[in-house]
Amino acid sequence: MLTIHDKTFVPFIAAHEIQQRITALAAQINADYRDKQPLMVVILNGAVLFAADLFKQLTMPCEITFLRVSSYQKTGSTGQLKQVLGLSEPITDRDIIVVEDIVDTGLTLADVCEQLRESRPATLKVATLLFKPEALKRPLDLDYVGFDIENRFVVGYGLDYDGLGRNTQDIFVLSE
Ligand code: 5GP
């Protein structure tokens, strides 16, 4: 069990299952990008642990960079928009793999992909460790998915509850 602030979390996905799944995803990516030099674009902060473990298992020449998504949401004709911040690497004509920790409503990733596509990458694919299919609000192509999970709140292995809980090897779920 894990207690963070006022909440209790119970074990959900064990470290060895996570690592096994990452090995399988890496094998897929290694096959798909065999003759390429992809640029992994990691969404901070939650995806850092997943991205690091995945990156270590890639065998082609590969680069890594990071971006942040604003919590600031501006309203306009398109409604709310999360903005991409701090991407320092040019992505035009590059083979981009966006790495996310978890896709919930999918709104964050949809905004990120839309903004990255404006820079005309050669290809853009998405890898997420976790996916909550029931929560999805916008259609999204997810190319590499670690685990489909039910619509419950999880922490650990990079994912936080109010800033804490990221530094575990296992993933935990909020106790019901
Ligand atoms: P979306 O835009 O897909 O609804 O949300 C994506 C972001 O919400 C994730 O990158 C993550 O920061 C946060 N999030 C969504 N579901 C969970 C969850 O179950 N646990 C934690 N810790 N964060 C979540």
**pLDDT of the residue at 80:** 72
32 lines ligand 1 (CB under 6 A): no
> What residues contact 53, with CB distance under 8 A and at least 6 apart?
18, 19, 22
The residues pairing with 63 across neighbouring beta strands, listed in sequence order, are 39
Separation CA 167–CA 86 (nearest Å):
24
State the distance from the centre of ligand 1 to the C-alpha of 103, rounded, in angstroms: 6
Q: Which of 102, 132, 161 to mutate to test the pocket of ligand 1 (most atoms within 8 A of CB)?
A: 102
Q: What confidence tens digit (pLDDT) does each residue in 115-170 have?
A: 999 999 999 999 999 999 999 998 899 999 999 999 999 999 999 999 999 999 99
For the question of residue 162 being annotated catalytic, the response is no
SS3 122: coil
73 lines ligand 1 (CB under 6 A): no
Q: Determine the atom of ligand 1 nearest the C-alpha atom of 152.
A: 19
Residue 77 has pLDDT above 60, yes or no: no
Q: Determine the atom of ligand 1 nearest the C-alpha atom of 100.
A: 10
Separation CA 31–CA 16 (nearest Å):
23
The residue written with tokens 């404006």 in the block is 118
Q: Determine the atom of ligand 1 nearest the C-alpha atom of 132.
A: 16
* Residue with CA closest to ligand 1 atom 19: 153
- pTM value is 0.95
Q: How confident is the model at residue 8 (pLDDT cuts 50, 70, 90)?
A: very high
Q: What confidence tens digit (pLDDT) does each residue in 33-66 have?
A: 999 999 999 999 999 999 999 999 999 999 999 9
Domains and CATH numbers, the chain: 15-150 (3.40.50.2020)
SS3 90: coil
